[in-house]
Amino acid sequence: MLALLTLLAAAADGVVDRVAAVVDDEIVLLSDVYDLGGDFVEQSCTRPFDRVRCVYEAETQILDALIKRALIKRELERLQYGVATVDVDQAIDSIVRDYGLADREALRKEVEVSGLTWESYRQQLRDQLQVQRFQQRVLLPRVTVSPDEVKDLYDRTARGQSKDAVVLDALGVVLPPDGSSEAAVAQVDALVAKLRAGEITFAEARELYDAAGLGAAIGDRVYERGKLAPQLDAVVFDAPVDEVLPPVRLGNVLMVVRVREKTSVEGDVKPFEEVKDGLEQQVMMQRVEEAENEWYQRMRREVSVKVLLPEPT
């Protein structure tokens, strides 16, 4: 359960602390980098031959997130939207209720069992609240979404849900039950050769050889990928149109198939009105992300930011 409550926080043992960056007048320590992303560094940099460079690049990515966090905090305080202690307490009370815990102390025990200190957990909640408040009060008022953008996303999503499909000519030859199938296999191979040479039509071959009517059951229908037997599905979608394929064995049946047509079918697409609100929210969040990135790049230019991580030589 705790994974749902906490952010990534695993400080690496043995980190020699030093100043990693200075944002205006706020110091970011290397230990802050590892408090936030120690696991990320260790999991990303497992190859000994480039570990030094990899660690530097991973630390830089995490430091960038911390610099953004510091700039967001600075902006909220400038606008008098800062997150107060009472806001953190209210968030903790909400978590206690949502997860059916007895009280704050029960949550604190869960947090500390995970290896995270209560103070670090509160700080992480404060950081989350700052980002949420920044997006809601600073970015969202600057973002607009037009109906055309929402409809365009719907159309692109619907197109992306189409699936490959085929229409087949098919017939099935039932093999003898006594295991003496060599003659029948040779007969089917000869039939395939005649079909390819145009000496017999598929309709004639089906009438002569498909006594069980298996080909008629398969033929003339549209099949999307994944709906045929796996043995057929594996070959027909890569086959050229009009080519008679080698026989495919399905149990005690040899199937002879030809791809008559390749097409596509639409997936299960809900009507626009049913999904419009969700798509509008999706576009909105994309615009918020773009606005945040634009704001961050501008702040990096306007505010004094000094990165002090030494680049490996």
Query: What are 207-255's pLDDT values in tens digits?
Result: 888 876 776 677 678 888 888 888 988 898 889 999 999 998 888 888 8
- CATH class name, domain 2-143: mainly alpha
Which part of the chain is CATH 1.10.4030.10?
2-143
pLDDT at 267: 62
Give Cα 33 to chain centroid, integer Å: 26
Number of Cβ atoms within 10 Å of the Cβ of 182? 10
Answer for the pair 247, 188: CB distance below 8 angstroms, yes or no.
yes
pLDDT at 12: 38
pLDDT at 13: 45
295, 293, 276: which is closest to 145 by C-alpha? 276
Q: Among residues of the chain, what percentage have pLDDT more than 90? A: 50
User: What would the two tokens of residue 223 be?
Assistant: 């099949």
Low-confidence ranges of the chain (pLDDT < 50): 1-14
pLDDT at 159: 65
Right CATH for 163-265 from 1.10.260.40, 3.20.20.70, 3.10.50.40, 3.30.499.10: 3.10.50.40
Which part of the chain is CATH 3.10.50.40?
163-265
Q: HSE (CB half, 13 Å, CA atoms) of 59? A: 26
82, 20, 108, 97: which is closest to 56 by C-alpha? 20
Number of Cβ atoms within 10 Å of the Cβ of 121? 23
d(C-alpha 239, C-alpha 255), whole Å:
15
pLDDT at 165: 85
